[in-house]
Chains A and B, each alone.
Chain A
Amino acid sequence: MINKEKIKKLECDVIVVGSGGSGSSAAQAVAESGLNVIVISKDPLASSDTKICEGVMTVREAGDENDSEEELANNIKLAGGDLPDKKITEAFAKDSKIAYDRLRENGLRPSINKIRSTPKTLAIAMGGHNRSRSVGHKNSGLSFGHVNWDTIIKFKNIEYYEDCWFLDIVKNTSDESVVGGVAYDACNGKLLSIKAKAVIIAAGGLSTLFFPKTDTMRGNTGDSYAIGIRAGAALVDMEQIQFLPFCLASPPSYEGLLAGEPATGSFLGVIRDKYNKVILDSVYLRTRAECSEAIMRAVADGRGSPNGGAFLDMTANKKAKRSGKFFMEYLKSALPTAYNNARQALGKEAGKAEVPWEVRPSAHYMMGGIKVDEYGKALSFSTKLNKIKNIKGFYAAGQAMGGLFGSNRLGSTSLTEVAVFGYRAGNDAAKHVKKNKSKIDDSYFESHHRNFFKLFNDDGKFKAYNLKLDLQRKSWKYIGAARNKKDLLAMQNYLNELDEKVKNILVKEDMSWNQQLIEKIELQNMILSAKAVTLASINRDFSLGGHVRLDGKRKKIFSKPFSTLILMEAYNKLKIEKIERERTNFKTVLKYKINELYRLYIAKFIRILPDFLKDRIIEGKYKKILGSKAKLIEIQAGSLEAAPAEINR
């Protein structure tokens, strides 16, 4: 029953859920407009994927004057299989530079290309980019973590609550507009009941569904999508999960963590199966999806490595007489945290790239998400009217939103996404609130309070944590990097059964940091998200994007592109719609394809040259890439030096 003493009532103009990159950008935009913000975050302030990422960000024109807005927008759209929403990719291309400068104003300090007076870009274009436009940062994501932390702390009109699980958006039941939200404040043992005219969901992704086969933060339990669909939004492209190809398969403490990217495979890196046969060459020019697919197909055919992956073989890079030492310098500096993970997990020889690395795809990023427009407004879809409508006061940004990347996200674009769309959503939310002067009635909150206290169940039989673990195992098997129809249908049944078990979960009546309660809340969100992924995957019956359909064909380049939309019909019951997407014109596709083939052809040509010649050419390339030696910082995030505790023990 409702325990009034345990409810804490709050009021503000805008609630921002999440304190990662999109949350802090959103909060900044609202705060700058003079309104009051409450930031709710289940992890401590700014602890998020944004803080632990590789810190490489796409900034248009940083590496190449000819990098027009159109060029960048097209690159994303084509890489995404024409699924991306045109207006959203255009907004991305338009704002990437301003968004980056805003981060710099807040304290992000990149290296500078002194000749061009721009931030310095990474040596090799990240997988799939047709221009050099990825800017790396010392201490990787941590540098972004500091900036986000500082941004939220800086404004007196931002209040923040960490250790709080946002549960649901509260709406006015007559006109469907947002009137606030409810959250579980675990440290203080309270239910926060917050009135606000706008809510921005910036709560990240769902990769924890695949734990431990993931490199993301524990908190990615699909909360964004579950909260979104329960509040009436449509979810777009939910089958499109990005699996990073080169993650660690063992030992257990390192399982799932990032080891490298296609680009770090460098000029001579290849993927091999367990029979030592090359299954993909020119790795550095491939997209993440192509690499993951090659590995998962090998695994499905029984040609996989002992821990269900394949081998990333970079030994040829290392062996080359002249260029070998440059390669090592490149490998260590391009993605330091990833390199450190691999070095520590796989040992010294592997650290020197003298033996192939065992790698396996890991869930990394959800490309689909809450359907929004280019201002971050969340959208619902009415099948009857065949109409898209916005839900007043409801916004989503960052990984929580869908529509930007379609079926493949290019490396380093997410940090830009969060900075661009977090700010856009914040801006628009502020405008919305300023226009709306109506008073918010208490009555809309009552059913939410009741639902919260119903979560407790002293005689429950099942343990939420163990159900969660089981769901994670099943998710990898049935909706992981390789899928087929039979498995997808099995997953649907499994999820329905799990729904029944959830009704019978043990949650002791205790408000103070109740781990059983937390696990249950997250499990429910994971189930709902998994349902959306499964239903969308059934309808995407050919291979496109992040995962392979083992029983389907490959997408033909001239077929009509469509996106999936998942809607909530009745409580916890989902249904699917398909929406058509505009196909990029033939000329642009052709240009893009020719460019891609040309680069692959050159790579192949270099590979078959006699060794000494090849070595010289590659040496020249490295010299150009690595340039004059940058000053190294003393402690690199994730390195052994950064862990005195581990060394001393």
Chain B
Amino acid sequence: MEAETLKVRIKLFRDKKSYEVEYIYKKKFLDERPMILDVLLQAQEEKIDDLSFRYGCRARNCGICTVDINGKPRLACRARVKADDLISPLSTLPVIKDLIVKRDGIPRQMIGYNKIPSKNNLNVEADVPYHNLTACIECYACLDGCPLHKKNNLDIKDNNNAYPFGNPFSFLKLQRLYIDPLTPEEEKRGIIQKAKSLGLETYRREYKDLKIKCGVGINLKDEVIKPLLEVAFGDQIEKKNK
């Protein structure tokens, strides 16, 4: 027999303290298989009217609903609930309130990273690897396990500063620009310079043990990190992942 309810735990963060509450999700029909987002919305309606969490599209496209479920980053709108799941804020960014983390330290790393391109012939197609990278929804799941991002100090959250150390997302942005057929050669040097200044060297050292996983399944090691290491340091790395 299917249960009519599902119990989850939600980690709240208020007044500098963090604590867990239990919420019992009432299924809308017996074989409903709700997503984490459905649970959060019902919890806000029924019990915690000031529950703070992000969502936008409900369809795995806007990338802002990422939370940790049992300690691993997941998109709330497309992660099915299992009984006793623990929903907590992303552990890789500073928590502001409940499930809200401050995100803008990441994009701010990239201010001015791309120059305005010269007027080229625009009727040029980009190759498949380029488009594989535009699949990124900026969900920040890839911060988990990133040895570089770990070096950033997360305590400082009352300003709008950029993090000094990079992450798979910021390298993805650089690699996308690098393989854009309209990027001029002079600018490519700048892109590699930028990658180095964000700490690409660390990725080189730890490449073998690097465990980064993209929330939408982009092959980050082969399609982002490896090609960057190759042009930046002339390394030859064997393709391992799929």
Contacts and interface: CB of A to CB of B under 8 A. Distances in A.
A644 B213 contact: yes
A253 B35 contact: yes
A649 B82 contact: yes
A156 B38 contact: no
B217 A515 contact: no
A508 B132 contact: no
A466 B74 CA distance: 27
Interface string A628-649: 0001011111100111111001
B117 to A, nearest CB: 6
Contact of A109 (B45, B116, B130, B216): B130
B45 A465 contact: yes
Interface in B56-100: 56-64, 72, 74-75, 77-80, 82, 96-98, 100
Overall SS of chain B's interface: loop
A101 B100 contact: no
Contacts of A463: 49
A215 B125 CA distance: 31
A60 interface: no
B134 A251 contact: no
Interface stretch (A74-82, A135-143, A582-590): A135-143
Interface string B105-127: 00100111111110100111110
A186 B38 CA distance: 24
Nearest to A103: B122
A139 B131 CA distance: 7
A154 B128 contact: no
A469 B219 CA distance: 40
Given A44-B64, A138-B134, A154 B115 contact: yes
Nearest to A219: B56
Interface in A126-152: 138-143, 145-146, 149-150
Given A513-B97, A637-B135, A154 B114 contact: yes
B32 interface: yes
A634 B61 contact: no
A47 B63 contact: yes
B64 A162 contact: no
Nearest to A138: B131
Contacts of B44: 465, 515
A365 interface: no
B61 A645 contact: no
A436 interface: no
A253 B37 contact: yes
Contacts of B104: 44-45, 162-163, 187
A52 B57 contact: yes
A177 interface: no
A252 B32 contact: yes
A636 B135 CA distance: 7
B132 A217 contact: no
Interface in A460-514: 463-466, 469, 506, 508, 512-514
A105 B96 CA distance: 37
Contacts of A163: 102-104
B34 interface: yes
Contacts of B135: 139, 142, 633, 635-637, 642
B128 A142 contact: no
A237 B35 CA distance: 37
B51 interface: yes
Interface in A62-112: 101, 104-105, 107, 109-112
Contacts of B138: 44, 46-47, 145, 149
Interface string B161-184: 000000000000100110011100
A582 to B, nearest CB: 36
A336 to B, nearest CB: 11
A626 B169 CA distance: 34
A465 B52 CA distance: 12
Given A337-B59, A513-B97, A101 B122 contact: yes
Contacts of B126: 109
Contacts of A105: 116-117, 119, 122
Interface in B143-172: 157-160
Contacts of B60: 637-638, 642-643
B114 A153 contact: yes
A98 B130 CA distance: 24
A276 interface: no
A385 B62 CA distance: 46
Contacts of A155: 112
Given A162-B103, A252-B34, A643-B216, A153 B124 contact: no
Interface string A215-231: 11111000000000000
A242 interface: no
A516 B50 contact: yes
Contacts of A153: 107, 110-114
21 contacts: A47-B138, A52-B62, A105-B117, A109-B180, A110-B125, A117-B123, A142-B136, A154-B112, A163-B103, A212-B58, A219-B56, A252-B38, A253-B58, A465-B44, A513-B52, A513-B98, A519-B49, A635-B216, A641-B217, A643-B60, A643-B78
What 9 A-B pairs come out closest when comparing CB atoms? Answer: A513-B97, A109-B126, A52-B61, A642-B216, A138-B131, A52-B57, A463-B49, A645-B74, A515-B50
Given A47-B64, A107-B180, 9 more contacts: A43-B62, A109-B124, A142-B135, A154-B114, A253-B37, A635-B216, A645-B72, A645-B75, A645-B215
Interface of A: 43-48, 51-52, 101, 104-105, 107, 109-112, 117-119, 138-143, 145-146, 149-150, 153-156, 161-163, 186-188, 212, 215-219, 251-254, 256-257, 337, 341, 463-466, 469, 506, 508, 512-516, 519, 631, 633-638, 641-646, 649
